[in-house]
Amino acid sequence: MTIRMGGIFGFRFDIDSEKCLRDGVPNIIRIGRKTGARFTFFASMGRAVSIPHMFMNSRTREGAGPDVKRLSALQKLGPLDFFKTAVFNPLIGARYAGILREAWEAGHEIALHGGKNHGSWAAAMPGWDRARIENEIDWAMDRLARAGIDGGITGFASPCWRDSPALYEVLRARGFKYTSNVASESEDAVSLLHNLVSVPVNICGQPGRVAYIEHKRAQDMNDPEVLADFEMNLEKHAALAVAFEHPYYAGTRESGLLEKLLQKAADSGRRAVTLREIASGSG
């Protein structure tokens, strides 16, 4: 029905912290309005960090080696917000429910990103049993319902790409239709993963499956260089292109560049649709 010169294009934002939702998402809603893009926001309803797991995370990062080009949370958030996140550690989606609802009402998709705590999920979820995962997801779905978003939640993306067979069992039992737990440049199509539709991310920073703009900036690329690289990625993933970012970065200091990327995509006939639409084949 639509005239599309390019293929299917999705842009996903993972809401990991208070700054993501409070400062980043309102700008992204505005950019969506300007460019006609519809996004998927994977929302953390619980807390951002787990203090006991922070030490473990820093060990993991060191273990990843110097090749992983990423900015640290401290670099991205700045000292004040990093300190506030670590000390106050609020319930993210629950506290700023109005902004989530505003995104939802503007036609963007709200999907789920973990459970009660992004940090503990990232560090420990693969070891959790089914009852623990059910408890986490039911808690988060209840928070979404209380935020006034009680329909159309069909997608799930796991914090830091963690998964386990038990996670997919719970997601199927709870009526989820798709996951986005795979990030690889060689994935160019929707597939099935543990009997759920899998929408891959194929525009991100590698190695380490990190957010796209963050990765390019860590490589010291300027705006024209990132734009050219993005265009090359859209061409490379002609049938299906899915990019990934965090609102606290791409929606704040990089919102100008984000808008340029989306405008460039729209100019070549690629208007971002939600991952739910891609999963259901209507993208």
The residues that touch Zn ion, with contacts defined as CB under 5 A, are 14, 16, 159
Edge-to-edge, what's the strand order for the sheet holding 40-43? Answer: 191-193, 196-198, 178-179, 155-156, 109-112, 40-43, 8-15, 240-245
Half-sphere exposure at residue 203, Cβ-oriented, CA atoms within 13 angstroms: 29
Q: Which is nearer to Zn ion, 42 or 265 (CB)?
A: 42
Output 48 or 261, the one with its CB closest to Zn ion: 48
Segment (H or E) for 177: none
Beta bridge partners of 155: 178
Which pair of structure tokens corresponds to residue 124?
């420990």
Report the residue number, 35 or 198, with the smaller CB distance to Zn ion: 198
Yes or no: say if 180 and 198 are a contact pair by the CB < 8 Å rule: yes
- Nearer to Zn ion among residue 16 and residue 81 (C-beta): 16
Residue with the two structure tokens 């609020």: 90
Nearest CB to Zn ion, comparing residues 38 and 118: 118
Nearest approach, Cβ of residue 237 and Zn ion (Å)? 22
Q: DSSP letter at 34?
A: H
CA distance 98 to 147: 7
Q: How far is the CB of 118 from Zn ion (least distance, A)?
A: 6
Listed in order, strand segments (DSSP E) in the chain are: 8-15, 40-43, 109-112, 155-156, 178-179, 191-193, 196-198, 240-245
Least Cβ distance, residue 224 to Zn ion (angstroms): 29
Q: How far is the CB of 169 from Zn ion (least distance, A)?
A: 22
Smallest gap from Cβ 16 to Zn ion, in A, equals: 4
Nearest CB to Zn ion, comparing residues 17 and 35: 17
Closest CB 14 distance from Zn ion, rounded Å: 4
